[in-house]
Structure 1
């Protein structure tokens, strides 16, 4: 297959909403396993029935189409059931990291107007405290030993006795499916308005790009898969194999991958916290055919001694994102998964998920360091920095702009920022990139000063705002320090207030109490003043040069 076949192919996009997804998958795959969660399992038929019960329970509790349901829960069967049940009811999903501290959790509830939250026992009290006095009046808790108490009800009790059928709500492609919070290119946490047609579009693109199948409407208003004859894809084989889920489902990458892979009939095996030995064991036991993760994870997995004793021959696709794969990790992956194609990709929440990816067509090649070419019906431009009217040529660096069916509807309650980044159908990603002569895209720098640590985005601005709220800190700047395969960790440069002394350890603890664990400050450097330009802008390039003076982590 040549690149021209891929770049010139256009898809038909079903005019449906995500409300039809669960019944469509149930009708197609029946008693095939959809989710494996430890000793618990859920077939596609059961996912259809259980999501219908959840949708009925939402309706019975007063939730109406376009209301918002907050998913404050980790990877488990209940997440999947609640996700599809919410969409089936026509409500909007707003996912959140279950470890999110209370202040950020409350802000998300207030901004979205969420009315129901789905949580888990260890974090349920945090959600209850965050929801006090807000629109969120019902907390559904998955797990054993849940005691109903006012606003709290157990997951099983919530759905008990509800019918196992639910006609998909009459929402349109222009209604909001997800309110997915991200720092975007500004570092300010904002809810991205991901429409139903964006999700359907991106999943449709993925089914064609990775499995060579179209998503087509059926006479009864559902959707199914049909092979695209001209696409010879070495990738996902619908109705066969499984995937081991490590990435958190509250993140756009895992969430969209779930709908794509479930639509293709792959069993989702929940792995829990990443452990290379356990993941290799799950790959062998469940004959995984598609695995996805970040370079840090792949480095740990591919170099683990168990690779030599585990059967990984079932794996056909190793998908990587978040950062470029280095040559050493790539070579180790090729050796660890002898029958797999390695593919890197690029995406962002503002474009639902996937924008570019290395092709899996038979005869196409892999290019080290590239995030591939634009997927179907996606157009990218590299525009000159400072002049958005100029499109630069091959090999020239510029700002990456994207247009396609997956480009979302902008930010919730941020019209000015939306107007800046969403222009005439195009999305300004804020990332610096270039293309080679064949159109392969390479990301040169991440948006603004964003760091990536263990595959997670870390925004310096958020940390800087917390640092300057400390009574001893006058000004602060955060930059990244390279820590090998796991990416960059945040280091803070701070200036004390007049007469104040800064306790570095206490300051790091102060920040840690207010952020997720991967965002913690790992080192503090106290300066008399931060270097600034004539215009007063902090010169982070100067601070990066000072990192050599900071003791390296042990």
Structure 2
């Protein structure tokens, strides 16, 4: 039986480069040896609390040093990490604890009230990170090393944002996560030990956890944490710490490009990766012009560990695409309307993106039907519509469920958003379909205007007519101060549909 543990990512660094700075958060600086020593001490405390290999331990913390230390402590003890989104209500946290069968909740003091309320409702013991866990760690014997696990044993259970109702737990193995961190670090982009990464993406989310935390440490590089994202503070911190690697979601790239003009100095960035949602080409161009650094857009899902494809220097990059599959991963386009089997389509055809490889999850915890729907003929069906061109570049057109059908014609919101992002008075936009008696659905653009402007809805529609086909341009334009974002910084279109339906 092959054994493998995510914990090896930190353990090997402690062995190979003990004195190298691993983690920076505010005034705190930890070397790899110190970080691993703390993780082993916490793992000893967890064992003392009754955590056995295979037990699920929920972890609820912001991007402070407590998160990566507890994450590796759980892995070292042989436990399964259940990251909890920080924006959830007590009832939603309760669902995650119950559904995952968590035996313990580790919660940061900032989230203790919500976490404790949820845990008490389901009888799960709670330990606060920092003071309480540190005290226990000081009073117990640290583990000598990490507990070995079978490569296919569960390592992390991610609760997917629940765009389709109740969140489901996607089970990822040690093999899934170690491979994803490894190919991200060494094959997709050349991450070296002298790199310094800004950890601004939430670590409870797959993108932040794999790409920012695990891949950075897999390469022996330094992670600088930013507990709460603010563009001006992010720029200041990147300059101060010499950060050259940035991973973000499109909303972060929008904010950074806008804040760059007022910043006294800008960081020298080498690698910028965008994911989590589609990056409008206009935003990519704006950011690259401001920072003089290339942006590599990628794509993935919790179920794919998460990285599946990305623009990679080896293949050349193409704005508006999600690049090529990662090393050892296949991504193809299949006939979307065919259920129960995967029928691959030739280049240029529009269909559902399907993925197979070392990154595909084991299944949804306790949901065999949902797993059987998602894993078909060895492929994971993503629910995203896309195309693949003759050069192998993949492009996401839209979520299968977000497509608007207006008067019998398919309208892809992403295409409309791309066009509207070029309007000088539009800072952000989300395009949704709203019920319409005549056309079935009508195209509605929900717009966040640029600061100091007051665009006119009719003028936006007129402008759109010149840039979009007759069935595509938004007949309805609504203005808002901010778009509703989920815990993973994606725009919650279901909330917008609920807000504007019937108005």
Q: Normalising by the residue count of structure 2, what TM-score does the alignment of the two structures yield? A: 0.79
Return the match for 1:186 from 158, 164, 184: 164
CA contact (8 A) 1:95 1:251 kept: yes
**Which residue of structure 2 aligns with residue 82 of structure 1?**
70
Residue 367, structure 1, aligned to residue 318, structure 2:
yes
Residue 417, structure 1, aligned to residue 395, structure 2:
no
**Which residue of structure 1 aligns with residue 86 of structure 2?**
98
- Matches for 1:274-353 after TM superposition, within 5 Å: 274-306=229-261, 309-313=264-268, 315-338=269-292, 340-353=293-306
**Deviation for aligned residue 1:300:** 1.7
Residues 133 and 329 from structure 1, CA distance in 2 versus in 1: closer, same or farther, beyond 3 angstroms? closer
Residue 483, structure 1, aligned to residue 447, structure 2:
yes
**Deviation for aligned residue 1:268:** 1.3
CA contact (8 A) 2:43 2:143 kept: no
Residue 435, structure 1, aligned to residue 388, structure 2:
yes
**Which residue of structure 2 aligns with residue 474 of structure 1?**
none
**Deviation for aligned residue 1:478:** 13
SS of corresponding position for 2:363: coil
Residues 335 and 524 from structure 1, CA distance in 2 versus in 1: closer, same or farther, beyond 3 angstroms? closer
- Matches for 1:439-458 after TM superposition, within 5 Å: 439-449=392-402
**Which residue of structure 1 aligns with residue 198 of structure 2?**
244
Residues 311 and 50 from structure 1, CA distance in 2 versus in 1: closer, same or farther, beyond 3 angstroms? same
User: What's the CA shift string for 1:161-212, capped at 9, x where partnerless?
Assistant: 334553221311111001110046734310001111111121122122244x
**Deviation for aligned residue 1:386:** 1.8
**Deviation for aligned residue 1:406:** 0.5
Give distance in 2, aligned partners of 1:241 and 1:385.
41
| Runs of 4+ residues over 6 Å off in structure 1 | 450-453, 477-480, 514-518
Alignment length (residue pairs): 430
SS of corresponding position for 1:369: coil
**Deviation for aligned residue 1:290:** 0.8
Residue 18, structure 1, aligned to residue 18, structure 2:
no
SS of corresponding position for 2:354: strand
**Which residue of structure 1 aligns with residue 475 of structure 2?**
none
**Which residue of structure 2 aligns with residue 107 of structure 1?**
95
SS of corresponding position for 1:179: strand
Give distance in 2, aligned partners of 1:54 and 1:155.
7
Residue 255, structure 1, aligned to residue 209, structure 2:
yes
Residues 93 and 389 from structure 1, CA distance in 2 versus in 1: closer, same or farther, beyond 3 angstroms? closer
**Deviation for aligned residue 1:115:** 1.4
Residue 382, structure 1, aligned to residue 333, structure 2:
yes
Return the match for 1:398 from 351, 361, 371: 351
CA contact (8 A) 2:168 2:365 kept: yes
User: What's the CA shift string for 1:120-148, capped at 9, x where partnerless?
Assistant: 223212222211253522x22135xx6xx
**Which residue of structure 2 aligns with residue 195 of structure 1?**
173
SS of corresponding position for 2:158: strand
SS of corresponding position for 2:38: helix
**Which residue of structure 2 aligns with residue 354 of structure 1?**
307
Give distance in 1, aligned partners of 2:122 and 2:487.
22
User: What's the CA shift string for 1:383-411, capped at 9, x where partnerless?
Assistant: 11223443222221001111000100110
**Deviation for aligned residue 1:521:** 4.2
Give distance in 2, aligned partners of 1:33 and 1:417.
43
CA contact (8 A) 1:100 1:516 kept: no
Residue 160, structure 1, aligned to residue 138, structure 2:
yes
Give distance in 1, aligned partners of 2:501 and 2:121.
40
Structure 2: gaps of 5 or more residues: 404-412, 418-429, 433-440, 451-483
SS of corresponding position for 1:94: strand
Structure 1: gaps of 5 or more residues: 1-13, 147-153, 212-234, 461-476, 487-511, 528-549
Residues 479 and 55 from structure 1, CA distance in 2 versus in 1: closer, same or farther, beyond 3 angstroms? farther
Q: Normalising by the residue count of structure 1, what TM-score does the alignment of the two structures yield? A: 0.72
SS of corresponding position for 1:296: helix
Residues 480 and 16 from structure 1, CA distance in 2 versus in 1: closer, same or farther, beyond 3 angstroms? farther
User: What's the CA shift string for 1:311-353, capped at 9, x where partnerless?
Assistant: 422x110101123333332222223333x33200000011111
CA contact (8 A) 2:188 2:326 kept: no
